[in-house]
Amino acid sequence: MVIQRRYELEIAQQDSASCPECWIDWQVIDAAGREINPMRKQFYNLCQQSFWLAMQAGGEDETSDRIAQITDNHP
């Protein structure tokens, strides 16, 4: 499976307590024969992405750990 992630953040002073606006786009390029839904997902800040990914993980610890690895290493 091939997944593309694009991340764009304008450099500006942000309050550390806020979730700065950015553009995040995930797209499945090659599903390797698997049924993937959605094939594309966009977010407008990291908080929105983190919440959506956590809901998809359904509380599974291993999946949550992998999501944290992906999102902590942005961009």
Over residues 18-42, the pLDDT tens digits come to: 788 899 999 999 999 999 999 999 9
Domain membership flag for residue 45: yes
Q: Give the residue, 20 or 62, on which the prediction is more confident.
A: 20
Domain membership flag for residue 34: no
Domain membership flag for residue 27: no
Domain membership flag for residue 59: yes
Q: What is the DSSP letter of 18?
A: S
Domain range for 65 is 40-75
Domain membership flag for residue 6: no
55 has a pLDDT exceeding 70: yes
Domain membership flag for residue 28: no
Domain membership flag for residue 31: no
Amino acid symbol at 15? D
Instruction: Give this prediction's pTM.
Output: 0.66
Q: Tell me what the mean pLDDT of segment 11-20 comes to.
A: 71
In the sheet with 2-8, reading across from the earlier edge strand, the strands are 2-8, 21-30, 40-45
Return the percentage of the chain with pLDDT > 70, whole number.
69
Separation of alpha carbons 14 and 21, rounded Å: 9
User: How many domains does the structure of the chain reveal?
Assistant: 1
Domain membership flag for residue 71: yes
Q: What is the CA radius of gyration of the chain?
A: 13
